[in-house]
């Protein structure tokens, strides 16, 4: 897959819920090695895995693949927006400046 964002989401969910790889694997019906390989990127999860994980965690496919879908991208942007609102105004302004510069650079690269 193009992005490994879903790996971060899975690992974050596991840690926030104080689950070991062994316990999460057990809850999902997989072995520990499979779970470890998913988190480290040595193996791509099956569709069945994503369905089971989504059902267990309540995390949508759109969120798991935030950079792959329009809805997922919007979800991630909303999350980042909420985080930015907690920053001091000067830090928010600095963040926007960096983001604007990055977007300008990516847009220029896309035109080439």
- Residue 90: partners with Cβ closer than 8 Å, 6 or more residues away: none
**Nearest to residue 7, comparing CAs of 32, 51, 37?**
37
Q: Within this chain, do residues 11 and 34 fall inside the same structural domain, yes or no?
A: yes
- Please indicate, yes or no, whether residues 56 and 87 belong to a single structural domain of this protein: no
Using 50, 70 and 90 to split pLDDT, how confident is the model at 1? very low
pTM score above 0.75 = no
Domain membership of residue 107 as a residue range? 70-111
CATH number (domain holding residue 22): 1.10.260.40
pLDDT of res. 86: 96
| Same domain (yes/no): 76, 42 | no
Residues 89 and 47 in one domain: no
pLDDT tens digits, residue range 35-56? 999 998 899 899 899 999 999 9
Same domain, 56 and 35: yes
Query: Taking Cα atoms as reference points, which of 14, 12, 13, 31 lies closest to residue 22?
Result: 31
> Which residues does 21 contact at the CB level (< 8 Å), separation at least 6?
14, 32, 35, 36, 39
At 54-97, the pLDDT tens digits run 999 999 887 887 766 677 678 778 888 999 999 999 999 999 99
Note the pLDDT of residue 5: 83
pLDDT tier at 106, thresholds 50, 70, 90: confident
Which tens digits make up the pLDDT trace of 16-32?
999 999 999 999 999 99
User: Are residues 58 and 99 part of one domain?
Assistant: no
């Amino acid at each position: 897959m193009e992005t490994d964002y879903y790996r971060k989401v899975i690992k974050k969910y596991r840690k926030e819920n104080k689950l070991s790889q062994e316990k999460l694997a057990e809850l999902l019906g997989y072995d520990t090695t499979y779970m470890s390989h998913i988190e480290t990127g040595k193996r791509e999860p099956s569709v069945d895995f994503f369905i089971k994980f989504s059902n267990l965690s309540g995390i949508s496919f759109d969120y798991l693949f935030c950079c792959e879908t329009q809805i997922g991208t919007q979800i991630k942007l909303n999350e980042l927006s909420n985080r930015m609102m907690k920053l001091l105004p000067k830090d928010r302004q600095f963040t926007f400046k960096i983001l604007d510069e990055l977007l300008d650079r990516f847009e220029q690269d896309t035109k080439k």
